[in-house]
């Protein structure tokens, strides 16, 4: 049976495509690829039929996939991967066992690597929350960003559509203090640009740069991830490591070292 592979392509750097994703892509005759991935991944897409998935209505897209599956495997290059804010679920459900999902490097992973920070730092942050103001809803019963933002939380905000001063004001209310914030624009892509600061100075640091596509005709969300929380600026010493070593690890990892 031919398969439709929904391949996590990572944030944009072809080096972050997994080995498995690359191998499976080689066997695909048709690849559905959202811009700008057809350019970024051109080296892996030579000789393949390339289509933009978002140019089709759902049933047309399904028909294209069905027809392409008659001759070879089909690939989808998914920005990041399927884990968060990916529009491909209905296709996967409809294709049933012909659809396979391949994990990739999500933007959250790339942000953690860029900032060189874990998002749940013991003693600093005890939970990470992923949210987008586009999907939270604004009904009375809905949870707001302000409610999600709280001491101890690392907040990852995708597809922000709030003007930065408004976003910051909601976060300031929620956190109740001047916590660090990073705006990571086009991570791992040409034009990567990151602005870091704290809630009280980030608006001034960004100035008139439109990192969220709010002043353009373009309706697509900008490729900007917002990360907020104390972990961004925290540094820790080795005491947590030694606690784990003395209470847990040393009994399991005795002196034998691999060759």
Nearest distance from residue 176's CB to ligand SAM, in Å? 25
For residue 91, the SS3 value is: helix
- C-alpha angle 135/141/143, rounded to 5°? 50
Judged by CB under 6 A, which of 84, 94, 98, 113 binds ligand SAM? 84
Q: How many CB atoms lie within 10 A of CB 188?
A: 21
Q: Are strands 49-51 and 28-32 parallel, antiparallel or unpaired?
A: parallel
Judged by CB under 6 A, which of 2, 85, 113, 163 binds ligand SAM? 85
Judged by CB under 6 A, which of 65, 168, 184, 232 binds ligand SAM? 184
Strands of the chain, DSSP E: 4-10, 28-32, 49-51, 73-79, 99-102, 127-131, 153-157, 180-185, 193-198, 224-228
Q: How far apart are CA 240 and CA 221, in angstroms?
A: 39
Nearest distance from residue 213's CB to ligand SAM, in Å? 9
DSSP assigned state of 221: P
Residues 88-147 that bind ligand SAM (CB under 6 A): 106-107
Nearest to 52 by CA among 84, 25, 76, 73: 76
Judged by CB under 6 A, which of 145, 187, 211, 232 binds ligand SAM? 187
Judged by CB under 6 A, which of 158, 174, 183, 227 binds ligand SAM? 158
State yes or no: residue 7 binds ligand SAM (CB under 6 A): no
Nearest distance from residue 192's CB to ligand SAM, in Å? 8
Nearest to 53 by CA among 42, 62, 66, 43: 62
Nearest distance from residue 63's CB to ligand SAM, in Å? 24
Pick between residue 80 and residue 229 the one whose CB is nearest to ligand SAM.
Answer: 80
Which residue is nearest to ligand SAM, using beta carbons?
80
Phi, psi torsion values for 129, nearest 5 degrees: -120, 135
Helix (H) or strand (E) holding 225: strand 224-228
The site string for ligand SAM over 191-210 (x = CB under 6 A, - otherwise) reads --------------------
Q: Are strands 180-185 and 73-79 parallel, antiparallel or unpaired?
A: unpaired
Judged by CB under 6 A, which of 3, 4, 12, 180 binds ligand SAM? 12
State yes or no: residue 225 binds ligand SAM (CB under 6 A): yes
Pick between residue 72 and residue 195 the one whose CB is nearest to ligand SAM.
Answer: 195
Residues 50-79 that bind ligand SAM (CB under 6 A): 79
Sheet with 28-32, edge to edge strand ranges: 49-51, 28-32, 73-79, 4-10, 99-102
Helix (H) or strand (E) holding 51: strand 49-51
- Which listed range, 25-33, 40-48, 119-127, 186-194, lies at the site for ligand SAM (CB under 6 A)? 186-194
Q: Which residues bind ligand SAM (CB under 6 A)?
A: 11-12, 79-81, 83-86, 106-107, 158-159, 184, 186-189, 221-225
């Amino acid at each position: 049976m031919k398969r439709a592979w929904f391949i996590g392509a990572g944030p944009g750097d072809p080096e972050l495509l997994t080995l498995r994703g690359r191998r499976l892509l080689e066997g695909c005759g048709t690849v559905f690829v959202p811009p700008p991935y057809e350019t970024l991944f051109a080296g892996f897409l030579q000789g393949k039929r390339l289509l933009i998935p978002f140019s089709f209505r759902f049933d047309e897209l399904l028909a294209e996939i069905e027809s392409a599956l008659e001759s070879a495997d089909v690939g989808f290059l998914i920005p990041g991967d399927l884990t968060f804010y990916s529009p491909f679920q209905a296709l996967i459900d409809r294709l049933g066992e012909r659809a396979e999902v391949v994990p990739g490097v999500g933007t959250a992973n790339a942000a953690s690597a860029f900032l060189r920070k874990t998002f749940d730092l013991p003693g600093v942050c005890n939970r990470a929350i992923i949210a987008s103001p586009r999907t939270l809803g604004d009904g009375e019963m809905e949870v707001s960003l302000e409610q999600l933002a709280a001491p101890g939380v690392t907040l990852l905000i995708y597809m922000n559509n709030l003007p930065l001063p408004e976003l910051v004001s909601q976060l300031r209310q929620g956190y109740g203090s001047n916590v660090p914030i990073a705006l990571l624009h086009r991570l791992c892509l040409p034009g990567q640009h990151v602005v870091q600061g704290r809630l009280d100075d980030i608006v001034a640091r960004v100035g008139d740069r439109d990192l969220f596509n709010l002043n353009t005709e373009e309706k697509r969300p900008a490729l900007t991830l917002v990360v907020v929380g104390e972990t961004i600026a925290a540094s820790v010493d080795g005491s947590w490591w030694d606690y784990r070593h003395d209470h847990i690890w040393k009994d399991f990892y005795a002196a034998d070292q691999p060759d």
